[in-house]
Amino acid sequence: MDKAGNFIGWLHIEGVNLSVALVENALSKVHFTAERSSYYKSLISVEETARQRKEKVSLVEFQNLSCRLGLCSKTT
């Protein structure tokens, strides 16, 4: 965690890099500090693809991504 309480690192869920998945689904942008990481090329590539699709961030898209990654809660 940094001084502002932000998570710094890589989170993998079932072999999926969450940072790459968020950028790929236009739910996040690549921060300049990613330049030093081994995931930088992947992040830039998926960011450009998302930009070309002109996707926008939405709560529904985030919830769908969360469920695909097995993070959503099932309510009855």
pLDDT mean by block of 10 residues, the chain; 76 residues: 78 92 88 90 93 68 75 64
CA 42, 5, 13, 58 dihedral sign is negative
Instruction: Kindly list the distances between the CA atom of residue 74 and the CA atoms of 3, 21, 27, 42, 45, in Å, as whole numbers in the listed order.
Output: 33, 21, 22, 31, 33
Among candidate residues 52, 21, 47, the one with its CA nearest the CA of residue 32: 47
Please report the pLDDT score of residue 76 as a whole number. Answer: 42
Helices vs. strands in the chain: H and E counts, helices first: 3, 2
Q: How many CB atoms lie within 10 A of CB 39?
A: 15
Please report the pLDDT score of residue 28 as a whole number. Answer: 86
pTM score of the predicted model: 0.65
